[in-house]
Amino acid sequence: MPDDMRDGTRSAAGEHAGHAANGESAGQGGPGGGGSGDGSGRSDGHGAPARDTSETTHASEKAHASEPRADGPAAFWDSLYSERGRMWSGEPNRALVETAGHLVPGRALDLGCGEGADSVWLALQGWTVTAVDVSAVAIARAAAHAAERAVPEGQITWLHADLSSWLPSGQADLVSACFLHSPIDFPRAAVLRAAAGAVASGGHLLVVSHAEPPPWAAGHDHHEHRFPIPEDDLVDLALDAAWSVLVNEVREREATGPDGQQATLRDVVTLVRRH
């Protein structure tokens, strides 16, 4: 997805601790369910599956899903998403497009899927996607977005779960963890390590984060928020010799703010491959 708009607060459930412009990521794009990180609408895994033809949840995956607490991150992200009709642009994250566009489609896991832009884009490229978010509101929007784009039935499995406690039940050829920032507590390092554990042999893990808040978020207090540098991802992942680091750098992209402001945003992009 192109990069969606993030105001610098994308959630650990998906994407509110750093909403960028032009892309999607914001749901538990935070602790467990959220968003596509670039602003198109994703959460980091806190979203409940909506009944839709594009949504089928396998029993084995349900068994591993941790139902979000009504008073926990799910409530935070649901409230955030409910503040407006649509949080993100509906476009996929640019780093994901640039990465997955060169890969042979297979099984993909989208952590913090938010409003589903990344998941939908992957599905339309031929990937079979499992999308996780902490926000039920985000998941419902994501399923509706998939239906609008005519994603084939069964191509995407939507899971409402908290990434801070949910563990994948299988392995994927591509695991995407974009903009898992959060203004509330979220065990990002533990989630990233669990994500690495879900990568199949020969598969890839993509981690994208905001390197700094966007200029239009100047009024927000980001002193307590951690904006990682490239080396932080490698420390958090704690990879062994079974992995190759393909990309670990800061990338710039042009984005548009909520009031039409133009700016150059900086993201940390890490791509690793399991042998």
pLDDT digits (tens, 9 = 90+) for 167-221: 999 999 999 999 998 888 899 999 999 999 999 999 999 999 999 998 888 765 5
- Give the dihedral sign, CA 134/135/140/143: negative
pLDDT digits (tens, 9 = 90+) for 161-179: 999 999 999 999 999 999 9
Sequence-separated (6 or more) residues with CB below 8 Å from residue 219: none
The pair of three-digit structure tokens given for residue 80, joined into one six-digit string: 């955030």
pLDDT at 46: 34
Domain count, the chain: 1
pLDDT at 107: 98
Determine the structural domain holding residue 245 and report its residue range. Answer: 4-274
Identity of the residue numbered 134: V
Q: Per-residue confidence at 47, pLDDT binned at 50, 70, 90?
A: very low
CATH number at residue 161: 3.40.50.150
pLDDT digits (tens, 9 = 90+) for 70-107: 568 999 999 989 988 777 677 999 999 999 999 999 99
Cα–Cα–Cα angle for 258, 109, 232, rounded to 5 degrees: 70
Note the pTM of the prediction, 2 decimals.
0.78
Buried b (16+ CB within 10 A) or exposed e, 56-90: eeeeebeeebbebeeebbbbbbbebbeeeeebbbb
